[in-house]
Amino acid sequence: MQFSAMCQNLLGEGETANYVTTGSWSEGAIAEAKKYCIPNEVTNNKKHKYTTVDDPSTWNVDPNAKFMHYCRNETIQGLEFHEFPYHVVPENQLLISDMSSDFCSKKIDWHKHAMVYAGAQKNVGPAGVCITIIREDLIVKGQMRPNTPMLCDWHKYASAPNTFQNTPSCWSIYMAGLNLKFMNDRGLDAITAEAEHKSGMFYDFMENSNGYYSNGVDAKYRSCMNIPFRVAKGDDAVEKKFLGEATAAGLIDLKGHRSVGGLRASIYNAMPEEGVQALMDFMTKFKKENN
């Protein structure tokens, strides 16, 4: 929904926005933006099969765009900005980030961002909630474009702290609240350290597999949350066997997104180190039996 809402609330007639394309979610964002403007695609890493990002010095940035949008972590391709190249953002241009899949796994540089949004269903809570944090001066009454549904009107939400435009997904919000409290007690630094440790051991493990397991993403952009990988260089039959045996061993949801195939290990905050270890143990055994 925020794909539309950010355009509907921020873009006036004739204004445009910069979009950084690094995977499926950025592609979704720019597709939606085309309904509201002619978006400027700053860079597109499809030519690299989404495994890296062109050097930011080569990006085609429109200095007159209203905002620049990027997705911090691409779940399908497993590509994450550990630090966005803030220097490419023109002064006074708003920076917007879709942090759906790595929200609450690492710090956000609030001084750099005008708006951050995140579906809750990864690290925060159950599906049914989208957390949207917007710089206060950007929430202006009546600024939304004509034909904007009430539920996309930021000002309506912000101006009604004691009421609602609709009946929200109460249970999901309540559960997210409990988990936010839990994470807050734990501290973000500890959570970040654990995320880096869990994903790091898995990348290391694959690097030591003599190419039997592989993740093609540039080390600089490797995701701490989602790690797509191939088995036996992407041999269909072997990957199917892997998935079947893994599922039988209780290691579930390892199928890669249908748009890219292969396998994928998602290591959100709720996945304990023991879970990653169990997967690696299985993979060691599978390799021994099948290589």
Residue 24 makes contact with a second copy by CB under 8 A = no
Residue 119 makes contact with a second copy by CB under 8 A = yes
Return the residue of 90, 168, 177, 187 that touches a second copy, per CB under 8 A. 168
Rounded to whole angstroms, the Cα distance separating 225 from 229 reads 13
Helix (H) or strand (E) holding 184: helix 170-186
Return the residue of 4, 52, 209, 266 that touches a second copy, per CB under 8 A. 4
169-198 binders of a second copy (CB under 8 A)? 169-172
CB 53 to a second copy: min, Å: 25
Q: Pick between residue 131 and residue 152 the one whose CB is nearest to a second copy.
A: 152
Tell me which residues are annotated as active site.
25, 98, 122
- DSSP type of residue 215: -
Q: Pick between residue 2 and residue 97 the one whose CB is nearest to a second copy.
A: 2
* Contacts of residue 76, Cβ cutoff 8 Å, sequence gap at least 6: 23, 24, 25, 226, 228, 256, 257, 259, 260, 264
The SS3 call for residue 116 is strand
Q: Pick between residue 155 and residue 241 the one whose CB is nearest to a second copy.
A: 155
CB 120 to a second copy: min, Å: 9
Site string for a second copy, 125-164 (x = CB under 8 A): -xxx----------------xxxxxxxx------------
Q: Exposed (0-12), middle (13-18) or buried (19+): which is 41, by Cβ within 10 Å?
A: middle
Q: Which span sits near a second copy by CB under 8 A: 57-65, 124-132, 133-141, 247-255? A: 124-132
Task: Characterise 38 by phi-psi region: left (phi > 0), alpha (psi -120 to 50), beta (else).
Answer: beta
Residue 14 makes contact with a second copy by CB under 8 A = no
25-84 binders of a second copy (CB under 8 A)? 32, 35-36
* Contacts of residue 186, Cβ cutoff 8 Å, sequence gap at least 6: none
CB 80 to a second copy: min, Å: 19
Rounded to whole angstroms, the Cα distance separating 44 from 52 reads 10
Q: At what angle do helices 24-33 and 2-10 cross, to 10 degrees?
A: 40
Residues forming contacts to a second copy in the complex (CB under 8 A) are 1, 3-5, 8, 32, 35-36, 119, 121, 126-128, 145-152, 166-172
